[in-house]
């Protein structure tokens, strides 16, 4: 059965939930070998873009990259708050390592904003060494909502917008190679189901729930990333998906009081934001990861690197290896974000491509 469009068999569903439960309960034990915070190598001269850098895991990632000497670009919706954070960080900076930070507005709820951001960065003709697509949403218990672009919010913010950003920034990533695209994924992709013809959950084949939308968006991201890796076969640009673990966040603010209490009972087993940032920082800075990604390319592997919350290579779901459905998701994603299916090859050859969500578009 094709679980990417027709749903999970009960055995797959059970195995997925069993893995989720096990890894949540024992993640602290599996990650006990890690330092907290993670020790990073000097990153002097590296340009790093981090989306969603003003709160949670993204804030920790951004702060640690900047403190390690990278030139940080905070890609955020609330630019004024980002500047407040920078002022706070600079009170503790040292003369020997002053912080180098820019702020550029990026709103993943609007694909036009994604195009504008990419155009602004690419126009600087600077290399981009690390792109961390961290920003995402999980609107637990909320009804189905759509962006102004017409897409279900989870699929746009967690998958479509980061996919568009990654493709449009390829000219800068090429200049910065060896470079890395790090996508903040989730182990919940193992219970995800993606129908390329119904990513908005508009048909009655699969009733909408926020859990389905979130897990499906993460599966779509992983499968898209794996095909992007194939298009980047002959480049020194590498794609990785990372799993931060079960992290204490404010996603439960809209839950009922009883569900909030049950969620808080799990806090003992969960990471804080700093611990949740480690897998992304490891993927972005460890030199051995580039060799591993190169090996995956050479082997023609059907899935990109997937790094667990313990900062070790982990196995994604069985469906992640399904190349046929991954290409279906690739093609549909490129269509939804207004890019030609062969857009990556065109960009790598130095051609300019038109996105229908550009500011001057007549869509």
Catalytic residue IDs? 214
Reported as type and span, the H/E element at residue 103 is: strand 100-105
CA distances in angstroms from 49 to 59, 70, 104, 106, 197, listed in the order given: 12, 10, 10, 11, 32
Alpha helices in the chain (DSSP H): 10-30, 56-67, 79-90, 111-122, 153-155, 161-168, 170-175, 210-231, 257-265, 273-276, 278-285, 288-299, 323-336, 343-348
Instruction: Please give the Cα distance from 82 to 68 (Å, whole number).
Output: 18
Q: Which residue has the tokens 């499968």?
A: 223
Can you say whether residue 156 is alpha, beta or left, with left for phi > 0 and alpha for psi between -120 and 50 degrees? alpha
The neighbour count for residue 137, using CB atoms within 10 Å, is 20
**CB–CB of 154/328 below 8 Å?**
no
Instruction: Please give the Cα distance from 300 to 302 (Å, whole number).
Output: 6
Instruction: Please give the Cα distance from 363 to 12 (Å, whole number).
Output: 41
Q: Give the 3-state secondary structure of residue 48.
A: strand
- Name the maximum alpha-carbon separation found in the chain: 60
């Amino acid at each position: 059965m094709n679980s990417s469009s027709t749903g999970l068999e009960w055995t797959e569903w059970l195995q997925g939930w069993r893995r989720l439960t096990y890894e949540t309960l024992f993640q602290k034990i599996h990650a006990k070998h890690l330092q907290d915070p993670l020790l990073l190598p000097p990153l002097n001269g590296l340009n790093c873009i981090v989306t969603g850098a003003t709160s949670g895991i993204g804030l920790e990632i951004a702060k640690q990259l900047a403190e390690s000497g990278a030139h940080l670009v905070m890609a955020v919706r609330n630019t004024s708050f980002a500047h407040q954070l920078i002022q706070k960080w600079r009170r503790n900076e040292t003369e020997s390592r002053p912080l180098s930070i820019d702020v550029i507005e990026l709103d993943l709820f609007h694909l036009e904003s994604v195009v504008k951001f990419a155009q602004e960065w690419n126009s600087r003709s600077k290399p981009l060494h690390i792109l961390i697509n961290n920003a995402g949403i999980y609107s637990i218990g909320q009804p189905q909502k759509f962006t102004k672009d017409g897409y279900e919010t989870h699929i746009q913010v967690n998958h479509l917008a980061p996919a568009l950003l990654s493709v449009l920034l390829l000219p800068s990533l090429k200049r910065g190679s060896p470079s890395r695209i790090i996508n903040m994924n989730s182990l919940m992709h193992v219970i995800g189901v993606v129908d390329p013809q119904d990513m908005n959950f508009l048909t009655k084949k699969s009733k909408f729930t926020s859990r389905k939308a979130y897990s499906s968006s993460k599966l779509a991201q992983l499968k898209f990333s794996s095909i992007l890796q194939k298009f980047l076969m002959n480049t020194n640009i590498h794609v990785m998906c990372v799993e931060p673990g079960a992290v204490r966040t404010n996603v439960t603010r809209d839950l009922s009081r009883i569900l909030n209490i049950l969620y808080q009972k799990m806090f003992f087993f969960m990471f804080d934001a700093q611990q949740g940032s480690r897998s992304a920082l490891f993927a972005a800075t460890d030199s051995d990861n580039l060799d591993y990604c190169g090996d995956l390319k050479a082997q023609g592997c059907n899935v990109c690197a997937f790094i667990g919350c313990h900062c070790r290579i982990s196995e994604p779901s069985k469906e992640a290896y399904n190349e046929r459905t991954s290409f279906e998701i690739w093609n549909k994603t490129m269509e939804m974000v207004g890019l030609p299916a062969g857009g990556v090859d065109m960009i790598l050859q130095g051609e300019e491509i038109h996105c229908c969500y550009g500011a001057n578009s007549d869509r």
